[in-house]
């Protein structure tokens, strides 16, 4: 089943719970849908989504279980608030907060240990793609940040230059990178690597979703801007092949 995940980033106050309500009642059969609102909305969003096919997640966590980490949130706190998934290693956190592969690895291990589905993001910058280094960069990120077990792991390939820009790679470039990631996962995890879902992210919208989601080894989408309304995310979910 395709997996469509909204990443609200730093958007959303109580009024946005209306969008969660709209989504929760309308998730189509044959597609898994989740939304990751800011921390402040997780508990309320989870209540709204309770008993529906909409999952609620977080955008980040701290690798430690508890302790003197002012302003941080642990995996068990997320689970306690009603989150069932978490994004780690988003390029905005790698860039804004200096998150290294080592840190992302620790976060992924902590999230999986708490039973959270863990969406680990990788992707090259435009300069790296122009230098024909995209596959090498992604391989290095996977090597440095993948957890020891594939159970509960999801990978999101998000070219940095495609995020929030309205630009996407060609379908052939997406196909090639997803095949490359799949190959890496199978080498790393054996058969379990075949079952890891690989999402594409970066300027996915209702207009391009059907094309992107039909590409081999594109098992879903991580969606930023177009996920802020129920209508936007539902239109993307509706474009996903079911089954
Ligand atoms: P975008 O963001 O869909 O707005 O490009 C995707 C992401 O950063 O996850």
Structure confidence at residue 242 (pLDDT)? 84
164 C-beta closer than 6 A to ligand 1: yes
75-103: per-residue pLDDT in tens? 999 999 999 999 999 999 999 999 999 99
Q: Are 82 and 72 in contact (CB under 8 A)?
A: no
pLDDT band at 125 (very low <50, low <70, confident <90, very high): very high
> What is the full DSSP assignment across 94-141?
HHHS---HHHHHHHHHHHHHTT-EEEEEE---HHHHHTT-HHHHHHHH
Q: How many helices (H) and strands (E) does the chain have?
A: 11, 8
- Ligand 1 atom closest to the Cα of residue 226 is 3
Instruction: State the residue range of the domain holding 122.
Output: 2-83+96-238
d(CA 155, CA 169): 17
Question: What CATH number is given to the structural domain containing 125?
Answer: 3.20.20.70
Span 144-161, mean pLDDT?
Answer: 98
In a domain, 91, yes or no: no
Distance 204 CA to ligand 1 centre (A): 7
pTM reported for the whole predicted model: 0.98
Which residue among the candidates 92, 109, 128, 158 is catalytic per the annotation? Answer: 158
Number of structural domains found in the chain: 1
Which residue among the candidates 90, 105, 178, 180 is catalytic per the annotation? Answer: 90
174-183: per-residue pLDDT in tens? 999 999 999 9
Distance 166 CA to ligand 1 centre (A): 9
């Amino acid at each position: 089943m395709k997996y469509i995940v909204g990443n609200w980033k730093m958007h959303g106050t109580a009024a946005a719970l209306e969008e969660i309500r709209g989504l929760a009642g309308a998730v189509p059969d044959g597609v898994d849908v989740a939304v990751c609102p800011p921390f402040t909305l997780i508990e309320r969003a989870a209540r709204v989504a309770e008993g529906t096919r909409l999952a609620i997640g977080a955008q980040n966590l701290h690798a430690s279980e508890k302790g003197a980490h002012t302003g941080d949130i642990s995996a068990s706190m997320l689970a306690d608030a009603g989150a069932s998934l978490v994004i780690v290693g988003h390029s905005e956190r790698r860039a804004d907060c200096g998150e290294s592969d080592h840190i992302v690895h620790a976060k992924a291990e902590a999230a999986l240990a708490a039973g959270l589905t863990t969406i680990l993001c990788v992707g090259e910058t435009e300069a790296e793609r122009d230098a024909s280094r995209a596959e090498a960069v992604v391989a290095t990120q996977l090597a440095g940040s993948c957890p020891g077990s594939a159970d509960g792991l999801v990978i999101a390939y998000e070219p940095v230059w495609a995020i929030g820009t309205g630009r996407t790679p060609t379908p052939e470039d997406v196909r090639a990178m997803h095949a490359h990631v799949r190959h890496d996962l199978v080498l790393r995890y054996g058969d379990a690597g075949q079952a890891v879902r690989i999402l594409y992210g970066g300027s996915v919208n209702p207009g391009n979703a059907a094309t992107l989601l039909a590409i081999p080894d594109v098992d879903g989408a991580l969606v930023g801007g177009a996920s802020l309304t129920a209508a936007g995310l539902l239109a993307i979910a509706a474009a996903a092949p079911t089954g």
